Amino acid sequence: MKIAVLAGDGIGPEITAQAVRVVQALGRHGLQVEVESALVGGAACDALGDPLPPQTLAVCESAQAVLFGAVGGPRYDTLPRAMRPEQGLLRLRKHFDLFANLRPAIVYPELAHASTLRSDVVAGLDLLILRELTGDIYFGQPRGIRRNEQGEREGFDTMRYTESEIGRIARWGFEAARKRQKRLCSVDKANVLETTQLWRDVVTEVRQDYRDVELSHMYVDNAAMQLVRNPKQFDVIVTGNMFGDILSDEASMLTGSIGMLPSASLNAKRFGLYEPIHGSAPDIAGTGAANPLATILSLAMLLRYSLEQPQAAERVEKAVRTVLRKGLRTADIAREGEQRVSCSEMGDAVVAAL
């Protein structure tokens, strides 16, 4: 088994280093996984002038899965768009057709207090956001900034979904719900946007094959409100690329910290890219304050979905629960007065718990 590790920018190298230590620890217990690193994002731009150089793509292609850190930073924000670190990630998603993005939001009992919401609102939350990842306004053409007839600059993007793109993510949504509480909520803006009217129609059609799953539809503005009003009403949410981007950041804060949320991006062959949903956090890069748990939990998803090693995945998740129970806290999940551990100390603890 082989995985590609793309650390990227900001806190990316610190957090992926801890996940690699977990891979090595599993190796000492009989699970051999080869790790090959490659450059991506701003780091790749600096070294090779391309956020996704061909040699990085080759490393990913030679692996069964990719463990991804984070990309981006203020230093790169003025580069032409094609050279920006984010393009490294977006091109990887498109290249491997990683259309199904799983973003689970689970509230660990030890961290219910860390949420800015009342703990009775979030305690016990177990929600899965399924975000379509290769279509929508993120990739729709045409797009650009042009001069209109009045000589004024005008920016434009295109929201676009085909029925096959909607159908395949809807199916994943129903399948996921079937393995859980059998409730799927499809989020759209069908009261205003044609693209999402088609979304709603197709999801409703696909439901014919999943009569055992309860389907509801919700407008995205209401969904944003319901997520903070009563998040436990949701089991699985399926939505498009842009709404999923926004709602998953919102959902992360129900769990106390964006530093806790892993994700998996899969294609039809179950090749996957696994990454924490937080970004490169340039403000804390190099300080040791980053929380490596979202990356370590992403590794657990990688073990489960792409390497088909469910027992190893469970061991990693159990080790994370153990360190939380023991009271280890990085700055993002520490309460006032609680002692804080660094990124590598959290890694030490997870390895020890394994």
Selection from 321, 314, 320, 262 nearest residue 102 by Cα: 262
Compute how many other C-beta atoms are within 10 angstroms of the C-beta atom of residue 140: 15
Strands 262-266 and 272-276: antiparallel
Contact flag: residue 86 with ligand IPM (CB under 6 A): yes
With CB under 6 A as the contact rule, the residue among 65, 89, 112, 122 that binds ligand IPM is: 89
C-beta closer to ligand IPM: residue 165 or 245: 245
Structure tokens that stand for 270 in this block = 């179950």
The question of whether 189 is a catalytic residue gets the answer yes
Which position among 245, 274, 305, 332 bears the catalytic label? 245
Chain residue at closest Cβ approach to Mg ion: 245
The most distant pair of C-alpha atoms in the chain lies apart, rounded to whole Å, by 68
Contact flag: residue 132 with ligand IPM (CB under 6 A): no
Contact flag: residue 245 with ligand IPM (CB under 6 A): yes
State the binding partner of 89 from Mg ion, ligand IPM, none, CB within 5 to 8 A by kind: ligand IPM
The question of whether 245 is a catalytic residue gets the answer yes
Give least dist CB 328 to ligand IPM, A. Answer: 26
Give least dist CB 87 to ligand IPM, A. Answer: 8
Residue 86's Cβ-count burial label (10 Å; 0-12, 13-18, 19+) is middle
Structure tokens that stand for 42 in this block = 């701003």
DSSP 37-70: EE--HHHHHHHHS-SS-HHHHHHHHTSSEEEEEE
Binding mask 66-85 for ligand IPM (x = CB under 6 A): ------x-------------
Active site members: 138, 189, 221, 245, 249
Binding site for ligand IPM (CB under 6 A): 72, 86, 89-90, 245, 277, 279
